[in-house]
A and B are shown apart, each in its own frame.
Chain A
Amino acid sequence: MAQTGFTPISLYYTTTAAAVPTAGNLVAGELAINTADGKLFYKDSGGVVQTLATKTAATFPNVNGATSGAVTLAAPAVAGSNTATFPAATGTVMVSGNMPAFSAYRSGTQSISNSTYTKVQLNAEEFDTANAFDSTTNYRFTPQVAGYYQINGEINAGGSSPVASASAIAIYKNGSPYKYGVYTIAAGANVSVSSLVYLNGSTDYVELYGYLVSVGAGFQGNSTDTYFNGCLVRAA
Protein backbone atom coordinates (compact mmCIF):
# COMPACT_ATOMS: atom_id res chain seq x y z
CA MET A 1 0.00 0.00 0.00
CA ALA A 2 1.39 3.34 -1.02
CA GLN A 3 1.70 6.41 1.12
CA THR A 4 -1.33 8.65 0.97
CA GLY A 5 -1.05 10.96 -1.99
CA PHE A 6 1.53 8.84 -3.81
CA THR A 7 1.02 6.46 -6.68
CA PRO A 8 2.75 3.10 -6.10
CA ILE A 9 5.21 1.75 -8.65
CA SER A 10 4.59 -1.94 -8.97
CA LEU A 11 6.59 -4.43 -11.03
CA TYR A 12 4.99 -7.13 -13.08
CA TYR A 13 4.58 -9.74 -10.36
CA THR A 14 3.13 -13.02 -9.22
CA THR A 15 2.29 -14.36 -5.78
CA THR A 16 2.49 -17.97 -6.91
CA ALA A 17 5.47 -19.82 -5.53
CA ALA A 18 7.89 -21.17 -8.13
CA ALA A 19 6.19 -19.27 -10.94
CA VAL A 20 8.65 -17.84 -13.46
CA PRO A 21 7.79 -15.34 -16.18
CA THR A 22 8.05 -16.56 -19.74
CA ALA A 23 9.79 -14.67 -22.49
CA GLY A 24 6.40 -13.75 -23.83
CA ASN A 25 5.47 -12.09 -20.55
CA LEU A 26 8.27 -9.52 -20.72
CA VAL A 27 9.95 -7.14 -23.08
CA ALA A 28 13.74 -6.83 -23.07
CA GLY A 29 14.87 -4.97 -19.96
CA GLU A 30 11.58 -5.36 -18.15
CA LEU A 31 11.62 -6.53 -14.55
CA ALA A 32 9.33 -9.04 -12.94
CA ILE A 33 9.13 -10.27 -9.38
CA ASN A 34 7.80 -13.34 -7.62
CA THR A 35 6.76 -12.06 -4.23
CA ALA A 36 6.28 -15.57 -2.86
CA ASP A 37 9.81 -16.71 -3.70
CA GLY A 38 11.51 -13.36 -3.40
CA LYS A 39 13.06 -13.64 -6.86
CA LEU A 40 13.64 -10.85 -9.33
CA PHE A 41 13.74 -11.53 -13.07
CA TYR A 42 14.48 -9.62 -16.25
CA LYS A 43 14.49 -10.36 -19.92
CA ASP A 44 17.89 -9.95 -21.52
CA SER A 45 18.66 -8.59 -24.97
CA GLY A 46 18.74 -12.12 -26.29
CA GLY A 47 15.13 -12.66 -25.33
CA VAL A 48 15.91 -14.98 -22.42
CA VAL A 49 14.41 -14.51 -18.97
CA GLN A 50 17.18 -14.36 -16.39
CA THR A 51 17.10 -14.50 -12.60
CA LEU A 52 18.58 -11.25 -11.37
CA ALA A 53 18.41 -11.73 -7.61
CA THR A 54 17.03 -13.93 -4.89
CA LYS A 55 16.20 -13.29 -1.27
CA THR A 56 17.97 -16.49 -0.17
CA ALA A 57 21.63 -16.36 0.76
CA ALA A 58 24.04 -16.83 -2.04
CA THR A 59 25.66 -20.23 -2.09
CA PHE A 60 29.07 -18.79 -2.96
CA PRO A 61 30.88 -17.38 -1.23
CA ASN A 62 29.45 -19.05 1.82
CA VAL A 63 31.27 -17.89 4.93
CA ASN A 64 29.68 -19.11 8.12
CA GLY A 65 30.49 -19.17 11.76
CA ALA A 66 32.77 -16.16 12.01
CA THR A 67 31.99 -13.69 14.77
CA SER A 68 34.98 -11.47 14.19
CA GLY A 69 37.91 -10.94 11.88
CA ALA A 70 37.91 -10.51 8.14
CA VAL A 71 37.47 -12.62 5.06
CA THR A 72 38.78 -11.01 1.91
CA LEU A 73 38.41 -12.34 -1.60
CA ALA A 74 40.42 -9.99 -3.75
CA ALA A 75 39.54 -9.55 -7.38
CA PRO A 76 42.24 -10.16 -9.98
CA ALA A 77 44.32 -7.14 -10.85
CA VAL A 78 43.44 -7.66 -14.48
CA ALA A 79 40.22 -9.36 -15.30
CA GLY A 80 40.80 -12.94 -16.30
CA SER A 81 44.51 -12.91 -15.58
CA ASN A 82 44.37 -14.56 -12.16
CA THR A 83 42.31 -17.37 -10.77
CA ALA A 84 41.97 -19.10 -7.44
CA THR A 85 40.51 -22.52 -7.91
CA PHE A 86 39.19 -24.66 -5.09
CA PRO A 87 39.20 -28.31 -6.09
CA ALA A 88 36.17 -30.50 -5.61
CA ALA A 89 37.61 -32.05 -2.47
CA THR A 90 37.05 -31.87 1.23
CA GLY A 91 39.77 -30.14 3.19
CA THR A 92 40.94 -27.08 5.01
CA VAL A 93 42.39 -24.07 3.28
CA MET A 94 45.71 -23.38 4.97
CA VAL A 95 47.01 -19.88 5.48
CA SER A 96 50.15 -18.71 7.18
CA GLY A 97 48.34 -18.23 10.46
CA ASN A 98 47.64 -21.93 10.86
CA MET A 99 50.81 -23.38 9.37
CA PRO A 100 53.34 -23.74 12.22
CA ALA A 101 57.02 -23.26 11.48
CA PHE A 102 60.00 -23.29 13.82
CA SER A 103 63.76 -23.14 13.85
CA ALA A 104 65.71 -23.97 16.98
CA TYR A 105 69.39 -24.49 17.65
CA ARG A 106 71.89 -25.41 20.32
CA SER A 107 73.56 -22.53 22.10
CA GLY A 108 76.73 -23.59 23.90
CA THR A 109 78.45 -26.95 23.70
CA GLN A 110 76.45 -29.93 24.94
CA SER A 111 78.68 -32.71 26.24
CA ILE A 112 77.35 -36.23 25.85
CA SER A 113 78.32 -39.82 26.58
CA ASN A 114 80.29 -41.94 24.17
CA SER A 115 78.19 -43.86 21.59
CA THR A 116 74.87 -42.92 23.16
CA TYR A 117 71.93 -41.45 21.29
CA THR A 118 71.32 -38.25 23.21
CA LYS A 119 68.54 -35.72 22.84
CA VAL A 120 69.93 -32.43 21.62
CA GLN A 121 69.07 -29.69 24.07
CA LEU A 122 67.99 -27.06 21.54
CA ASN A 123 67.86 -24.15 23.91
CA ALA A 124 67.60 -21.23 21.50
CA GLU A 125 65.14 -20.29 18.78
CA GLU A 126 65.34 -18.31 15.56
CA PHE A 127 61.56 -18.40 15.12
CA ASP A 128 58.61 -20.35 16.41
CA THR A 129 55.45 -19.04 14.76
CA ALA A 130 52.97 -21.11 16.74
CA ASN A 131 54.89 -21.28 20.00
CA ALA A 132 55.01 -25.04 19.50
CA PHE A 133 58.68 -25.66 20.22
CA ASP A 134 59.78 -26.14 23.82
CA SER A 135 63.31 -24.77 24.13
CA THR A 136 63.49 -24.85 27.92
CA THR A 137 62.41 -28.24 29.25
CA ASN A 138 61.74 -31.02 26.76
CA TYR A 139 63.32 -29.56 23.59
CA ARG A 140 60.56 -30.84 21.34
CA PHE A 141 58.16 -29.63 18.67
CA THR A 142 54.49 -30.32 19.45
CA PRO A 143 52.34 -28.51 16.89
CA GLN A 144 48.61 -28.15 17.45
CA VAL A 145 47.70 -28.39 13.76
CA ALA A 146 47.45 -31.90 12.36
CA GLY A 147 49.31 -32.61 9.16
CA TYR A 148 52.49 -33.54 7.38
CA TYR A 149 55.58 -31.68 8.50
CA GLN A 150 58.94 -31.31 6.81
CA ILE A 151 61.46 -31.81 9.61
CA ASN A 152 65.20 -31.21 9.29
CA GLY A 153 68.04 -31.53 11.73
CA GLU A 154 71.80 -31.31 11.86
CA ILE A 155 74.52 -31.70 14.46
CA ASN A 156 78.18 -30.95 14.46
CA ALA A 157 80.48 -33.37 16.26
CA GLY A 158 83.19 -30.87 17.03
CA GLY A 159 81.85 -29.27 20.17
CA SER A 160 84.52 -30.61 22.51
CA SER A 161 88.10 -31.73 22.41
CA PRO A 162 88.83 -34.32 21.24
CA VAL A 163 86.22 -34.05 18.53
CA ALA A 164 84.15 -37.12 17.82
CA SER A 165 85.57 -39.53 15.27
CA ALA A 166 82.17 -40.56 13.98
CA SER A 167 78.61 -39.39 14.38
CA ALA A 168 75.00 -40.19 13.65
CA ILE A 169 71.69 -38.41 13.97
CA ALA A 170 68.01 -39.28 14.21
CA ILE A 171 64.57 -37.73 14.34
CA TYR A 172 62.60 -39.18 17.21
CA LYS A 173 58.81 -39.20 17.16
CA ASN A 174 56.99 -39.60 20.46
CA GLY A 175 60.16 -40.83 22.14
CA SER A 176 61.19 -43.47 19.59
CA PRO A 177 63.53 -43.38 16.59
CA TYR A 178 61.62 -42.36 13.48
CA LYS A 179 64.27 -41.62 10.82
CA TYR A 180 68.03 -41.99 10.95
CA GLY A 181 70.57 -39.92 9.08
CA VAL A 182 73.70 -41.35 7.54
CA TYR A 183 76.33 -42.61 9.99
CA THR A 184 79.46 -40.67 9.18
CA ILE A 185 83.02 -41.66 10.06
CA ALA A 186 84.91 -38.38 10.02
CA ALA A 187 86.35 -36.28 12.79
CA GLY A 188 84.19 -33.34 13.79
CA ALA A 189 81.76 -33.89 10.94
CA ASN A 190 78.33 -32.44 10.36
CA VAL A 191 75.58 -35.01 9.92
CA SER A 192 71.99 -34.30 9.00
CA VAL A 193 68.59 -35.90 8.71
CA SER A 194 65.43 -34.82 6.93
CA SER A 195 62.00 -36.35 6.61
CA LEU A 196 58.29 -35.80 6.27
CA VAL A 197 56.57 -36.62 9.54
CA TYR A 198 52.86 -36.87 10.24
CA LEU A 199 51.90 -35.20 13.50
CA ASN A 200 48.35 -35.43 14.89
CA GLY A 201 48.08 -31.83 16.04
CA SER A 202 47.65 -32.62 19.72
CA THR A 203 50.00 -35.10 21.38
CA ASP A 204 52.53 -36.04 18.69
CA TYR A 205 55.98 -34.50 18.97
CA VAL A 206 59.41 -34.73 17.37
CA GLU A 207 62.87 -34.37 18.87
CA LEU A 208 66.45 -34.44 17.60
CA TYR A 209 68.94 -37.02 18.85
CA GLY A 210 72.64 -37.20 18.12
CA TYR A 211 75.30 -39.88 18.53
CA LEU A 212 79.01 -39.24 18.84
CA VAL A 213 81.90 -41.69 19.00
CA SER A 214 84.40 -40.25 21.42
CA VAL A 215 85.04 -39.84 25.10
CA GLY A 216 84.22 -36.31 26.13
CA ALA A 217 82.62 -35.36 22.84
CA GLY A 218 79.92 -32.77 22.48
CA PHE A 219 77.54 -31.09 20.09
CA GLN A 220 78.83 -27.84 18.67
CA GLY A 221 76.73 -24.98 19.96
CA ASN A 222 75.72 -22.56 17.25
CA SER A 223 72.85 -21.92 14.90
CA THR A 224 74.67 -22.94 11.77
CA ASP A 225 75.89 -26.38 12.86
CA THR A 226 73.48 -27.85 15.41
CA TYR A 227 69.86 -27.06 14.61
CA PHE A 228 66.37 -28.43 14.18
CA ASN A 229 63.66 -26.86 12.06
CA GLY A 230 60.46 -27.65 10.26
CA CYS A 231 57.09 -26.52 9.02
CA LEU A 232 53.69 -27.79 7.99
CA VAL A 233 53.57 -28.60 4.30
CA ARG A 234 50.16 -30.26 4.06
CA ALA A 235 47.22 -30.32 6.43
CA ALA A 236 45.77 -33.65 7.48
Chain B
Amino acid sequence: MLYEKIVALYPSLTQQDFLTVITLQNDSDGKGDYIAKWEHPTLSKPTNEELT
Protein backbone atom coordinates (compact mmCIF):
# COMPACT_ATOMS: atom_id res chain seq x y z
CA MET B 1 0.00 0.00 0.00
CA LEU B 2 1.21 3.45 -0.90
CA TYR B 3 0.67 5.01 2.52
CA GLU B 4 2.70 2.35 4.29
CA LYS B 5 5.52 2.65 1.76
CA ILE B 6 5.72 6.42 2.19
CA VAL B 7 5.67 6.22 5.97
CA ALA B 8 8.40 3.59 5.87
CA LEU B 9 10.45 5.96 3.73
CA TYR B 10 9.70 9.00 5.87
CA PRO B 11 8.84 7.86 9.42
CA SER B 12 8.59 11.45 10.61
CA LEU B 13 5.43 12.06 8.61
CA THR B 14 2.28 12.53 10.67
CA GLN B 15 -1.39 12.04 9.98
CA GLN B 16 -1.67 15.81 9.84
CA ASP B 17 0.78 15.83 6.93
CA PHE B 18 -1.50 13.52 4.95
CA LEU B 19 -4.44 15.83 5.57
CA THR B 20 -2.67 19.03 4.61
CA VAL B 21 0.48 18.94 2.51
CA ILE B 22 0.23 15.43 1.10
CA THR B 23 -2.79 13.85 -0.57
CA LEU B 24 -2.92 10.22 -1.49
CA GLN B 25 -5.80 9.42 -3.75
CA ASN B 26 -7.63 6.53 -5.34
CA ASP B 27 -10.24 7.24 -8.01
CA SER B 28 -11.78 3.78 -7.79
CA ASP B 29 -10.97 3.22 -11.45
CA GLY B 30 -8.75 0.19 -10.97
CA LYS B 31 -5.54 2.18 -11.31
CA GLY B 32 -4.77 2.11 -7.60
CA ASP B 33 -3.42 4.65 -5.13
CA TYR B 34 -1.28 7.57 -6.25
CA ILE B 35 0.17 10.81 -4.92
CA ALA B 36 -2.26 13.54 -5.95
CA LYS B 37 -0.49 16.30 -4.02
CA TRP B 38 2.95 16.59 -2.45
CA GLU B 39 3.69 19.99 -0.94
CA HIS B 40 5.78 18.96 2.04
CA PRO B 41 8.13 21.81 2.95
CA THR B 42 11.21 19.68 3.59
CA LEU B 43 10.70 16.15 2.32
CA SER B 44 10.90 15.54 -1.40
CA LYS B 45 8.29 13.59 -3.29
CA PRO B 46 9.30 9.93 -3.44
CA THR B 47 10.34 8.59 -6.80
CA ASN B 48 8.67 5.62 -8.39
CA GLU B 49 11.83 3.64 -7.71
CA GLU B 50 11.63 4.43 -4.00
CA LEU B 51 8.05 3.28 -3.89
CA THR B 52 8.50 -0.03 -5.66
Interface size, A (range): 20 to 34
A118 surroundings in chain B (CB, below 8 A): 25-26, 28
Secondary structure of the B side of the interface? mixed
Determine if A39 is an interface residue (Cβ-Cβ < 8 Å).
no
A139 surroundings in chain B (CB, below 8 A): 28
In the complex, the answer to whether A113 meets B19 with C-beta atoms within 8 Å is no
B side interface size, CB within 8 A: 16
In the complex, the answer to whether A117 meets B1 with C-beta atoms within 8 Å is no
B29 surroundings in chain A (CB, below 8 A): 119
Complex partner residue of B2 from A113, A121, A213, A215, CB under 8 angstroms: A113
In the complex, the answer to whether B28 meets A113 with C-beta atoms within 8 Å is no
Residue of B nearest to A176 (CB): B36
Secondary structure of the A side of the interface? loop
In the complex, the answer to whether B15 meets A117 with C-beta atoms within 8 Å is no
Give the B-binding residues of A (Cβ under 8 A): 112-121, 139, 166, 168, 175, 177, 183, 209, 211, 213, 215
Determine if B33 is an interface residue (Cβ-Cβ < 8 Å).
yes
B25 surroundings in chain A (CB, below 8 A): 116-118, 209
Q: For the complex, what is the distance from the CA of A175 to the CA of B24, rounded to whole Å?
A: 14
Determine if B10 is an interface residue (Cβ-Cβ < 8 Å).
no
Known A139-B28, A166-B15, A213-B15; judge A113-B1 contact (CB<8 A).
yes
A175 surroundings in chain B (CB, below 8 A): 27
B33 surroundings in chain A (CB, below 8 A): 113, 116
Nearest Cβ distance between residue B6 and chain A, in whole angstroms? 9
Q: For the complex, what is the distance from the CA of A114 to the CA of B18, rounded to whole Å?
A: 11
Residue of B nearest to A175 (CB): B27
Please indicate which of the listed interface residues B2, B23, B25, B33 has the most CB atoms of chain A within 10 Å of its own CB: B25
Q: For the complex, what is the distance from the CA of A117 to the CA of B25, rounded to whole Å?
A: 5
Please list 22 pairs of residues, one from A and one from B, whose beta carbons are closer than 8 Å in the complex, sorted by A's number: A113-B1, A113-B3, A113-B33, A115-B3, A115-B15, A115-B24, A116-B2, A116-B25, A116-B26, A116-B33, A118-B26, A119-B26, A119-B27, A119-B28, A119-B29, A121-B28, A139-B28, A177-B23, A183-B19, A211-B19, A213-B15, A215-B4
Nearest Cβ distance between residue A103 and chain B, in whole angstroms? 19
Nearest Cβ distance between residue B5 and chain A, in whole angstroms? 11
Known A166-B15, A213-B15; judge A116-B24 contact (CB<8 A).
yes
A119 surroundings in chain B (CB, below 8 A): 26-29
B28 surroundings in chain A (CB, below 8 A): 118-121, 139
In the complex, the answer to whether A113 meets B24 with C-beta atoms within 8 Å is yes
Which residues of chain B (11-39) have a CB below 8 Å from chain A? 15, 18-19, 23-29, 33, 36
